[in-house]
Structure 1
Amino acid sequence: MVSNNISTKKRIDWVDMAKGYGTIAVIFAHLAVGKIGVWLYTFHVPLFFFLSGYVFNDSLKFNDFISKKGKGILIPYFTLGLPMLVFTFLQQYRGSWLTRESILTLLKEFIIQKRFWTLWFIACLFFVNIFFFFICKFIKSDLLKIALSFVLVCVGIYYYRCGGQPLPWNIDVCFTATVFFCGGYLLKKHSKYFDYIKDKRAFAVLLFILLGIANVIFGYLTHKISGNGMEMFDSTYGFPPFTFISAFAGIFAVIIFSTFFTLKPIKYIGENSLFYYAWHQTILIPITNKIFINFGLFNTVEHLSASYYVIRATQTVLIIVITTIITLVINKTKLKILFGKK
């Protein structure tokens, strides 16, 4: 879900691997997979904000920065959204409830963008980049950047606790997302520490295990204490201290795991993550659900049984295969520019 507008020569394998794993996690979590989905929510969206911070470039002038983000985020927002609108209109037409009012409502929601479909993240990401651009321009101290990021988290959570509602283009999420974006930015800036961990394989494996355990424990505790956890779409953050510890632990666990080996299929998903992220829930999950229902697969298994998870995993693979075929076609045409690809 990180902008695809990165030159091939500058791509970082582990970043694409992490994006690939994160994309698969997002798709699988949207398939009603019970507690596994709850666990995946502890880190999967924060992971993408973190990785976006890692590839953030604070050396550009504002006009160049806006131009780059416009090409890499804004234009893909509309080009990715168009097929989603068409698919939804067709569904409404088949259901005989496509009206002038329903069309105008969808278009209005698409333009105003308040948690509208999976596109909400792309819209929010544009403004998180702008937020952090100005933070970097006016604040030079890394410690002050960290402090401000946590202040913004507190402001965001207080806003929700006071009954605050989603703002246009999900600007409200920027307050809680900036801390993850800042984390990625600082990891890149102080990459020597990360390089040390990568070079010490035994230590990296141990750290991965410990971080994974921490992610699960603190994710469990935040649900135990508050009844919910990290769900940026729904503006819920559970017991914030434990929620954010769990998120960062999960993020670093995924990142470390992503350095162990490079798998071309996973890397490809990461390189084209916007396609998979944008289209899987609105278009491909309904299509594959219908296929599986027509084959009677959901009728033969108990909900959340082992067989059920196998079916959902198979559905995830099918969604990935379909999207991969589409991306392979698009990436061979000049249309790829409209999707943030060079």
Structure 2
Amino acid sequence: MSNRINWIDTAKGIGILSVVLGHSVMEISLFLYWFHMPLFFFLSGFLYKPNDQFIIKKFSVLLIPYLTFFLIITGIRYLDEGVPTFEGFMKDGLNLLYGGEVLSGYYGVFWFVTCLFALSIAYHLIFQKIKSWKVWLGIIGMCYLLSYEYSLYLKDLTVMWNVDVVLYAIVFYALGHIYKRFKQTINTYSLHLTFFSLIVIGGALLAHLNNSMYYRLDMKSQLYNHFGLDLILPLSCIIILITISKFLSQYKVSFIILNTLGTASLTIMYLHLVFLIILPKYTGLPLWSVIISSIIFPAIFHTLAQNITLLKIFCLGQLHRYFPKKYINLLYRTNV
């Protein structure tokens, strides 16, 4: 029996559509960047569930597909660009290990996976060790202050796995976790929060359209240097998207479409850039057709992978489901 939460997958579906459109429709990408990656970190925080196998599960779910899709996409890239020299192979290998901002083009979204892995482990260790909510909130607040200073003065640094983004992303992860723990109380104020969020978003849009404010958020490039606004605006967008997701998840057609995309969101994230790069190069398809293809074909691949054990393990990160639990417990005790 599935334990998936319908509105979460609906929100992921909206989020991955925003990611694809943000990489293909430049006229609206600026606005989509305001929320699409903060949304995924927020939802990941909502789904945070500490247990004895947390670290091993995150390794299985995030890093094994990271390696698998890197190899798959690299094979496609070699077919397109030609097989490189030995130095080229070595460079690709080093880029795989270093990750983060050094990965671009076909691999432009890979930073999210390693950043989320590092963030998940850091948050888990903090949450397990810190029992005081006041101290915990103080640490999260300090992370945001540091992320702001980092964006101002050190954003040109290239750090392995984009772990520097953890300072900013952990805030949304924590907010997602807070929402899960106190959702009944927070939901009693949902109308007020929605109204406030609409005012914030509307004001930001008007200010941008009137050229009185230019706001750009880019987590991969550590561009979050508008103090306060970098929290309030993305969070306002997330609140509205949660409201929309809960509404759409009640209707069969939108539920089926968005939940299917949400369930396959990580696979689509890995593969959509391949289609956005390859299809315009070798076909005369219009942009809308390329966009739809970059969503549908990865979703189909994900559906097929769910029924093939090897693909489930290596592409969908399900190794922990097949590995004997006694060995997982042994590994956990050894690591601790």
Query: Which of 321, 325, 334 pairs up with 2:296?
Result: 321
Instruction: Quote the residue 1:114 is aligned against.
Output: 100
Query: Which of 5, 20, 41 pairs up with 1:12?
Result: 5
The letter of the residue matching 1:65 is F
Instruction: Quote the residue 2:60 is aligned against.
Output: 71
The letter of the residue matching 1:67 is I
1: CA distance between counterparts of 2:194 and 2:263? 23
The letter of the residue matching 1:153 is Y
Confirm whether residue 125 of structure 1 aligns to residue 111 of structure 2. no
Structure 1 contact 145–182 (Cα < 8 Å) conserved:
no
Query: Which of 30, 34, 42 pairs up with 1:42?
Result: 34
Instruction: Quote the residue 2:234 is aligned against.
Output: 247
The letter of the residue matching 2:244 is F
Instruction: Quote the residue 1:162 is aligned against.
Output: 153
Instruction: Quote the residue 1:171 is aligned against.
Output: 163
What RMSD over aligned residues (CA atoms) do the two structures have, in Å?
A: 2.4
1: CA distance between counterparts of 2:76 and 2:30? 28
Following superposition, the deviation at residue 144 of structure 1 comes to 3.2
- After alignment, is 158-167 or 255-264 more displaced? 158-167
Query: Which of 134, 142, 157 pairs up with 1:151?
Result: 142
Instruction: Quote the residue 1:306 is aligned against.
Output: none
Structure-to-structure mapping, 1:156-305, within 5 angstroms:
156-164=147-155, 165-196=157-188, 203=191, 208=194, 210-218=196-204, 227-262=214-249, 263-281=255-273, 283-290=274-281, 294-295=284-285, 297=286
Confirm whether residue 86 of structure 1 aligns to residue 75 of structure 2. yes
1: CA distance between counterparts of 2:56 and 2:201? 37
Structure 1 contact 222–243 (Cα < 8 Å) conserved:
no
Cα gap change, 1:68/1:220 in structure 2, threshold over 3 Å: closer, same or farther? farther
2: CA distance between counterparts of 1:31 and 1:213? 28
Confirm whether residue 28 of structure 1 aligns to residue 21 of structure 2. yes
Instruction: Quote the residue 1:103 is aligned against.
Output: 89
Cα gap change, 1:243/1:159 in structure 2, threshold over 3 Å: closer, same or farther? closer
2: CA distance between counterparts of 1:162 and 1:72? 34
Gaps of 5+ in 1: 1-7, 298-310
Following superposition, the deviation at residue 235 of structure 1 comes to 1.2
The letter of the residue matching 2:294 is I
Cα gap change, 1:238/1:109 in structure 2, threshold over 3 Å: closer, same or farther? same
- After alignment, is 227-236 or 264-273 more displaced? 227-236
Query: Which of 279, 301, 312 pairs up with 1:336?
Result: 312
1: CA distance between counterparts of 2:68 and 2:206? 38
Structure 1 contact 216–246 (Cα < 8 Å) conserved:
no
- After alignment, is 66-75 or 138-147 more displaced? 138-147
Following superposition, the deviation at residue 179 of structure 1 comes to 0.3
Query: Which of 45, 52, 55 pairs up with 1:53?
Result: 45
Structure 1 contact 89–103 (Cα < 8 Å) conserved:
no
Instruction: Quote the residue 2:325 is aligned against.
Output: none
Gaps of 5+ in 2: 250-254, 322-336
Following superposition, the deviation at residue 226 of structure 1 comes to 7.3
Structure 2 contact 275–290 (Cα < 8 Å) conserved:
no
Identity %: 25
2: CA distance between counterparts of 1:140 and 1:254? 31
2: CA distance between counterparts of 1:212 and 1:82? 43
Following superposition, the deviation at residue 197 of structure 1 comes to 5.9
Instruction: Quote the residue 2:330 is aligned against.
Output: none
Structure 2 contact 33–218 (Cα < 8 Å) conserved:
yes
Following superposition, the deviation at residue 194 of structure 1 comes to 4.4
Following superposition, the deviation at residue 210 of structure 1 comes to 4.6
TM-score of the pair, normalised by structure 2: 0.83
Following superposition, the deviation at residue 220 of structure 1 comes to 6.5
TM-score of the pair, normalised by structure 1: 0.82
